[in-house]
Amino acid sequence: MWTLQGKRALVTGAARGIGRAIAIALAREGTELFLVGIDGAGLEASARETEVLGVKVQFEIRDLAKPAEVSASVAACLAAFDGGLDILVNSAGVLRYGIHNELRTETWNQSGHHFGARR
C-alpha cells in the first residue's frame, strides 16, 4: 500500500488557499513539511495548524518571484531534510487583475504568464 507517512514535502504558497490546504492534507498523512511563502503571518498560522497533527514542520518567508529566493529556499529545504525531498507542491503564484492585453509588459513578466520570463 502506498503511504505518505514519513515522506518529506516542500510546499510553496503555503500561507493560504490551496497551498495551505495541501500542507494540512499532507500533514494528516504524516508527511514532514517545509513551507515557503511571502506572507509571514500566514506561514506561521499554517505551521501551527500542521504541527498539531504531529509532523515536523519548518517554514521560510521568501519571495519566490525572485530566482535567488527560489534557490535559497531549495537549499534550505534540502538542508532541513538532510538532502532528500520526496514531494514538491508548487502552489505559489502572483495574482494581477485587469484585462490581459492591457497589462504592461513588466506586470505580465512579473506574473510569470509566459515561460522564460525570468532567468
CATH of region 8-110: 3.40.50.720
pLDDT band at 66 (very low <50, low <70, confident <90, very high): confident
Domain boundaries, the chain: 8-110
Q: What local confidence, expressed as pLDDT, does residue 109 receive?
A: 63
Least confident range of 60-69, 77-86, 89-98, 108-117? 108-117
Q: Is the pLDDT of residue 100 over 60?
A: yes
Q: What local confidence, expressed as pLDDT, does residue 114 receive?
A: 40
Q: What value does the mean pLDDT take over residues 66-81?
A: 94
Q: Are the beta carbons of 91 and 11 closer than 8 angstroms?
A: yes
Q: What local confidence, expressed as pLDDT, does residue 65 receive?
A: 83
Span 19-63, pLDDT tens digits: 999 999 999 999 999 999 999 999 999 999 999 999 999 999 999
pTM for this structure? Answer: 0.81
- Could you give phi then psi for residue 8, rounded to 5 degrees? -120, 130
